[in-house]
Every structure is written in structure tokens, then in C-alpha cells.
Chains A and B, each alone.
Chain A
């Protein structure tokens, strides 16, 4: 019920909001898909990833390169980009899942930093610090998405579909085994589940949706820069998940909205976004480790039980 209300509100937004806010909403939807895919690993799998920007960035870069270098159309480039990124996720998962916990975090970080460094230095391919320009948005069924409103609906449809698919994934019997592997890995393997395989499949699934968010990202900006692969981008996604509440469905969505609103609002006044990001990180970890959504949930329950 709450979800339907949220969806109706999201769909009605362009009727009341101006172009600036419609664009901002598109960015929030894209970022929410990205954060939700991190949440699959962090919240449901108990695997702290600090390199998820790799999938967003590679998905976006592959799509952009196919378009620019090989002149592929978007409808052809998109599935190739997603497939390539997911294949990369398979390989990265094999490496990163040799460890759990802190080791996993360091491995994912190292892998994504390698990609970031490559995107910066492989100038003949990625044009380094200049980024790739001159990209076009797709035209599904001949619709022109260059205006803010059509693109918002396009992003919203894909975003809702992605998040619904991820919610189905978590609620499925497989998702239950995933949560089991998070909470009691030893007991799960004693019960005959292959904990490693469960984590690997989740890793691949998360990289798939990371790639989808990367496609939306590159369609929105029509531009891609190595900064999308950077640690700061992974960290922003992680912050969104933790701020909203990891391991909840609504958490990453709320967190994505908070982070992007903060970012847009703040950068209108001062340029020190990274510093603020750092402070928000410290404050959230020290004062609100559980996140906004579980926090409000608790308050709401207390309020309901009182009345």
C-alpha cells in the first residue's frame, strides 16, 4: 500500500515540479537503483563492498565506447554493455569472494581502483580526464527522450522494474538462504547449502543491476568521466545505503534521495561537497548506525503503540 502511494506520488511529480526538480528526480531514481544493488550485497549478503562504482562505471563506459567507436545503436549497445559488466562481475566475484568481511572490502576496493586508474590513464580509449562526450540518449519505440519529462518516466519505469526485481530476489527462497548465509554461515553450510555459491550468485546479480544503473547514468548525463569509477562514487552509494538503512527495501531509496538532495542543495552554496560527505559519514556511523528508515520505523511503532 505504502509502495503504491509512493509510486503514484513519483509518477505525479512532473505535473507539479519544474524541469530542475524533474531532472533531480531522475538522478535520484538512477542513484536509487545503484544503491539498491549495493544493498543486495551489504544489507542482505553481509558483504561490505567498497567498489560497486566499478559496475556502474564499466556499464556506462562500455555502452559509451560501443556507441562512439563502433557506432552501435543504443538498443544493441545496452545489452552488450550489461552482459560484459555482468561477466566482469563473475570474474571479480571469484577474486573478491576469496575473503569475507574486511578482506572482501579491500579486494573490491582494490579492483575498482584498478579500473579507475585504467580509465584515467588509457587515454587512447577513454580520453582520460576529458571523459567521453557526444553520446545520445536511446529512442525506445521512436520516443524522443531528450526532454526532462519523458526521460524521467523512462528512468522511473526502468528503476521501478529494477527495484521490484531486486525485491523479488530478496523475498524468494534464494533470498532467504542469502540472509541465512549472512547471519549463520556455518550453520547454513552444515545444513548443506553452498554458502560461497550463494554469495557469488548474489554478487553477479548485484553487478548486473549496477550495470543497469550505469546505463541509466550515461543516458542521463550523455557523458562519462573516470570519476564515476572512483572511490568517492562507491562511497556515496554505500553512504546512501547506510544512511537509509541497510537490509531494508526502502532504505537505499530514501538514502539515495537524502544523499542527492544534500549534494545538490549544498553544492549550490559551497564547493566543499567531499568534505561534507566525509562529515556525514562520520556523523552517521557515530550517531545513527542503524540508518534513517529503521530509526523512523522504531519511532513510528512507539507512536502507534502509545495512541
Chain B
């Protein structure tokens, strides 16, 4: 959508905290993820309608507003849920480790990988294979022409923004059993997300997926081998990609 959204880390954290609250009443991770996704989507929709919409093509203004909103969310979470990390229970079915080809994997992490792949495929199909996806792509590339041929660009953009927010919120809950919910989660997630997008290329699902894969690998090995400097290692692939291919691995245009 070419909207610079810096609230995504905060939306992720908000989702995780909402998940924590939901699970106090309904101890089911998937329900919690669904509720958190919906709640965060509603919030994202309001944000887009009430504030971002007014700033039109003012990219810099959008950055600042989303930055401001993410500070507000982060502080509100601190106020509402306190400063201690809150763990999220792993679902009982997925607590046992799984043996595969001689290696032992924690079942929950495998499930997360499966979910991620399914979501990625669904998103890809939505964007590339459906009428809705074609309309969205048209709206991003040339909003004026798109609305001239009768595509409700404005409503579509709100929908896309809600969808993005919903994924961030649900992601926060699903990541919860691995990372738990704590203040600063947003600031931890933001560089990861940014590096993923810069690596993979803006406006490319495949790029986001590849970027996430590389970043995940590098970060995990970095933490295991050189825990003090994991963050520095994290940023090496980014330098390499930026130096040789500024638009990212699969990007259509330069960021």
C-alpha cells in the first residue's frame, strides 16, 4: 500500500496482550488469536480511517503519526498489563516434542511454521489469483485510474490495512508461547520486521517470506554462536543485499 506503518511492532504486542487477557477467560490459544486479530484489526481500521486517511500522500507525516501511535500503544500496554513479562500457555496437544528423521522438534514450533506457510499461501492466492487481489494491486499502482473504473479504492485500502493489522495481532498471540508478552516486545519486533522487508523487497510476498526465512536463520544461529553480538550478525545479510541489490531480493521498486 506504500503506507509507512511503524505501528506494526506495537500492534503485534497489543495482540499478544489481548491474547493474554482472552486466555484468562477462554483458555484456548486459537480463540485468543482470533479475538486478538479481530480487535487489532478494528483498531487498525480506525487508525487508517481517522488519521492516516487525512494525510493522503504525505509519507513523512504518516511515519510520524504511526510512530506516535506506537508510543501510545506501548505505554497503554504498560499501563494496562504491567511491566512483568506474561507467559502464554502452549496448547496441551502441542506440548509434546515430535520426532522426525532422528531429530526432535518442539511440536508447537512446527505448528507455527505450518500456520505461517498456510497464511503465506492464502495471502499469495488472495493477492495474485482473486478479483479482490487484482483490485488491490490496481488501487496501489494507480489509485485515480482504479477509482475511475469503479474500484472502491478507499474501502479496499481500509480493508487491506485491517487485514495487515489482524495478521500482526494474531501473530502476537501465536508467537506468545515462544516469546511471551512483555514491554519492549514492539521495539524487539520492529527491527526484525524492517530487516525482513528490506531484505525481501517492498511489495513482494515472496520477498517477505524469503527475508523472514533468512533473518530467522541468521538470528537463531547468531544467538546460539555469538549471543552478545547476535544483533550485529543480524544486520550483515541486510548490508549485503542493500549493497548489491538496493530494491531487495524480490522487490519491484526501490524502497
Contact = CB atoms under 8 A, between A and B. Distances in A.
A and B associate in one complex? yes
Interface of A: 48, 50, 95, 98-99, 101-103, 105-107, 109-111, 113-118, 121-125, 230-232, 235, 238-239, 242, 272, 274-275, 277-282, 284-286, 289
A286 B69 CA distance: 13
Nearest to B71: A278
B144 to A, nearest CB: 21
Interface in B26-66: 51, 54-55, 58-61, 63-65
A285 B65 contact: yes
B254 A99 contact: yes
Pairs of residues from A and B, 9 with the lowest C-beta to C-beta distance, nearest first:
A281-B68, A103-B255, A278-B71, A113-B191, A278-B72, A117-B231, A275-B75, A278-B68, A274-B75
Contact of A285 (B55, B74, B187, B229): B55
A270 to B, nearest CB: 11
Nearest to B246: A98
Contacts of B191: 109-110, 113-114, 117
B194 A110 contact: yes
A121 B65 contact: no
For the residues of B in contact with A, the DSSP-based class is helix
Nearest to A119: B231
Given A99-B255, A103-B254, A110-B238, A279 B68 contact: yes
Chain A contact residues: helix, strand, loop or mixed: helix
Size range of the interface on B? 35 or more
B230 interface: yes
A238 B64 contact: yes
Given A106-B197, A110-B198, A278-B70, A118 B64 contact: no
B228 interface: yes
A235 B72 CA distance: 13
B87 interface: no
Nearest to B60: A48
Contacts of B59: 101-102
A285 B255 contact: no
A109 B194 contact: yes
Contacts of B58: 289
Interface string B215-252: 00000000000011111101100110011001000000
A41 B239 CA distance: 22
B34 to A, nearest CB: 28
